[in-house]
Structure 1
């Protein structure tokens, strides 16, 4: 008889795990609290506009290819990818911006214009980043974080010094131009920590950026979720939406089922891709492996204030992805990590998918997504949201030399309170737990429950960490661990 697995949550990691487990012969059911699947990667549709609510960047295409190849499939079986050119642009002041194009050679030309000799330095920097990418993404991140020995290979021993230096030090040693420094430090924000707290080894994110490029799935990132759903259902996975899990049932130290909508669903294995801290609250206190004090001490990736805006005209002087670095990043970072508060002058990011994708907005109109990174657990009120929208939209108008306020058809917002309500997210964080040196690999919360048998975890609070590609990998890691554990028992 097939072993039964109940999975809590339907984000990238849960769906990936469900595919691997179903392929291995398990009877898999996914329980999702919201009306639609995808976890943080949902969609908002309004007045003919379509927005990705969560992730909007498609990086590391090789990780997606590797995932689908495990099922003898390709991403192209499910969705169409377009490489963006330009990948993105970065504003530093009015009419002062740098455009990052779709190849390293073009990017080197842009760098050389800003700082003489920087093209050669950039080539050297990206060569190192590529080596690290090959070590990390092709090997290290596919380790389950059970032992420090997983990190000990000939390749990592040769890179040991890079675990004790930081991205900030390395970048600023090589480049003096402030604008180039900010561009090179930007990708580590996807890892949820400051460049000054991120080990040098993580410069592989720069290779993901400049070496591999930025892509867009036609009709948006949600197509990847739909691809995972399609694959899971092909493999026999049963997905139940509007089924919040209220309790994990434990008997004699073993997880034996879940309680959802007042009904018990028994299983041989329980796997949670929901927020790790929240999942532990579904257990009686005696069975929780991490205390509140443990979570309190951890460095969490930022939360975000997001706006989804429909404009009644096409916008000028922006690209699909546009970053606004016209204020001091260090001061904003301090307000996220060191002294948590609403930042006075925030950096922000904007995405205009309708520049690339006609599906995102009605003809002649523009879909805009605006994101301000914030410290988790901030006071979140409608008045504050309104204040910050006014701040960034005024700066947006000035920097891009156009008036847009009177062209807004509607705007919807999403912030700390929504992350808590919709995703049971710890303190309303958006990306999980940051990848700092002391929160890497085996130092992250474990994939396998320590106090409860047959209970497993996946997602961005465990290994390998935040981001969409790591979430896919996390799903594979936990599925492999479940299979290994049950083959041994």
Structure 2
């Protein structure tokens, strides 16, 4: 039996590498489907990039902060026989987010709802209401096509019905793939502010508006029509819910266990076979864990260049030299005394010269753009539990260049460095944090912001490399350029090692929490030999047990 055929009624021994959202989700679904699953996480806590940090009464999310594609979460929880609302309480944000600009006279509040968004665009630019309505029509149609044909699939086979369904739309599909998102935004509206609102979703895709295909304008339907939600208690509450479901399904979760090798066995005339992993425990003990199936949700670059034998790598080091990394990030966690009514839950700060900003972020040398477009989340605007009374919790994300690629002989490439607590991070990281605080103070008109900071921690690209083994210390994963989208992004199965599958933001279908959940489902589909191109029936795993 192989990972690409149905598992039938026989339970497989499965090792899942990595305890981020993708790893927890994959483990939970496989266990729900009757397999014996052990999850190994090198850090002391699960969650991966969706982590938390607590100090002096503040609880900070250290990663994802946007809850989009709610139907994806609903579907995932339904596969496990439960509902999202049975585990976390969701709040819909009003406004969805606030936009500050370097040359804006006043910030813009972006609302949810087709009519409300049309009114906003019309108030900024005559004719903008009709233009955004047409844009959202196209975005919704493209989103539905993506969900029905391109996301919930292993790309191991393209069903005939998919080809028939897409045939009349091939011309439109070609344009969506070949036209950049920036061009689509520019021919929709003229106002710089509105163009930036339509172009910023590229950053969610670890890309830039000039290189992300306009197919990704589908994301505007998510925040403008579906709305932006927040799990009360922070995204750590969501991670805890998924981890609890995994344990309830029978998953053995082991933290502080670092996988150092994916073990394989050679077979005459056939592909090598994954036989398990070798791991090192926190006390330095080496352990061999046998498995019929290995699923790595660790960074794909790390998996393929460090864990798999070099001669069996599907994506060896030369492959990565032709790939485009997503940006790095400087994260700044701030506990601020007093309230900040100038900000809302989600806040975007846009520079006037976007092209220069993105050229710096995606350049060859690690730099912090000056000035920098940035994102500020203030969850305490919605959730008083994340900060002491009368104080605010700020999560600041400054997109920066990823680390430079490693040099000859594996010498580490240049990096902006590590962050730290109370200003103890590397100088370039702390300088970026100081600049971000000053920018927020100036643009949001909070002149005393720096003096009100009571808790401060920074996280830099080197921390992403150390903590998550992230390729080039990037914050999200490979960029969603044309060459790195859909089936061009890669496969969730090794071509050279039978019984080795992949999930997570660094493989298909892409970056973001919803994509991580979908990647977990696609692993189950691969194991079952399911070649359909849509979500599994919500009772599929219950029928098999």
TM band (smaller chain): over 0.9
Q: What residue number does 1:310 align with? A: 335
Partner of 1:375: 401
Q: Which residue of 2 aligns with 1:427?
A: 472
| Structure 1 residue 478 displacement after superposition | 1.1
Matched, 1:401 2:445: yes
Per-residue deviation, residues 144-201 of structure 1 (Å, max 9, x unmatched): 1335779745235253222222211111012100110000101122111121212222
Query: Is the deviation greater in 178-187 or in 432-441?
Result: 432-441
Q: 1:355 deviation in Å? A: 0.7
- Kindly indicate whether the alpha-carbon contact (under 8 Å) linking 2:302 and 2:470 is maintained by their aligned counterparts in 1: yes
Between Structure 1 and Structure 2, how many residues are aligned?
485
Paired with 2:358 and 2:311, the residues of 1 have a C-alpha distance of 37
* 1:433-444 equivalent positions in 2, closer than 5 A: 433-444=478-489
Matched, 1:197 2:211: yes
In structure 2, C-alpha distance between the alignment counterparts of 1:480 and 1:176, rounded to whole Å: 44
1:52-451 paired onto structure 2 within 5 Å: 52-92=61-101, 93=103, 96-146=106-156, 152-155=163-166, 156-157=169-170, 159-160=172-173, 161-252=175-266, 253-261=272-280, 262-280=286-304, 281-342=306-367, 343-377=369-403, 379-381=415-417, 382-402=426-446, 403-451=448-496
Q: CA deviation at 1:135?
A: 0.9
Q: TM-score, normalised by structure 1?
A: 0.96
Contact kept, 8 Å, 2:206 with 2:476, in 1: the verdict is yes
**Considering only aligned residues, what root-mean-square deviation do their CA atoms show, in Å?**
1.6
The answer as to whether partners of 1:308 and 1:412 remain within 8 angstroms in 2 is yes
Quick one: distance in 1 between partners of 2:92 and 2:113?
Answer: 11
Residue 474 of structure 1 is matched in structure 2 by 519
8 Å CA contact 1:332, 1:346 repeated in 2: yes
Native 8 Å contact 2:65 2:235 kept in 1: yes
- For residue 333 of structure 2, give the secondary structure of its aligned residue in structure 1: strand
1:20 Cα deviation after fit: 1.6
Residue 339 of structure 1 deviates from its aligned partner by: 4.2
1:91–1:425 Cα change, 3 Å: same
Cα deviation per residue 1:282-335 (whole Å; 9 max; x = unaligned)? 122111122212112111211110000111211131111101114422111111
**In terms of mean alpha carbon deviation, does 144-153 or 3-12 score higher?**
144-153
Cα deviation per residue 1:245-297 (whole Å; 9 max; x = unaligned)?
11111122211111112011111111100001111211221111222121121
Does the CA-based 8 Å contact 2:262-2:277 persist in structure 1?
A: yes
1:9: which partner in 2?
18
Distance 2:229 2:485 in 1: 27
Cα distance in 1 for residues equivalent to 2:48 and 2:80: 23
The answer to whether the Cα contact below 8 Å between 1:334 and 1:340 also exists between their aligned partners in 2 is no
User: What is the distance in 2 between the residues matched to 1:326 and 1:436?
Assistant: 22
Instruction: Pick closer, same or farther for the CA change 1:196–1:153 going to 2, 3 Å.
Output: farther
Taking the aligned partners of 2:28 and 2:469, their CA distance within structure 1 comes to 24
Distance 1:72 1:158 in 2: 40
TM-score (norm 2): 0.86
Between 1:355-364 and 1:198-207, the stretch displaced more is 198-207
TM-aligned CA deviation for residue 49 of structure 1: 0.3
Moved more, 81-90 or 342-351: 342-351
Deviations 1:201-256 (A, max 9, x none): 22110101211111000001122211111111111111001111111111222111
Inter-CA distance 175–475: structure 2 relative to 1 (3 Å threshold): same
On the 8 A contact 2:273/2:499 being kept in 1, the answer is: yes
> 1:452 corresponds to which residue?
497
The CA deviation string for residues 431-469 of structure 1, in whole angstroms up to 9 with x for no partner, is: 111221111222123211111111111111211011110
Shift of 1:397: 1.0
Distance in 2 between residues matched to 1:338 and 1:16, nearest whole Å: 34
Task: Name the structure where helix makes up a greater proportion of residues.
Answer: 1
In structure 1, C-alpha distance between the alignment counterparts of 2:134 and 2:149, rounded to whole Å = 23
Q: Which runs of 4 or more aligned residues in structure 1 lie more than 6 Å from their structure 2 counterparts after TM superposition? A: 148-151
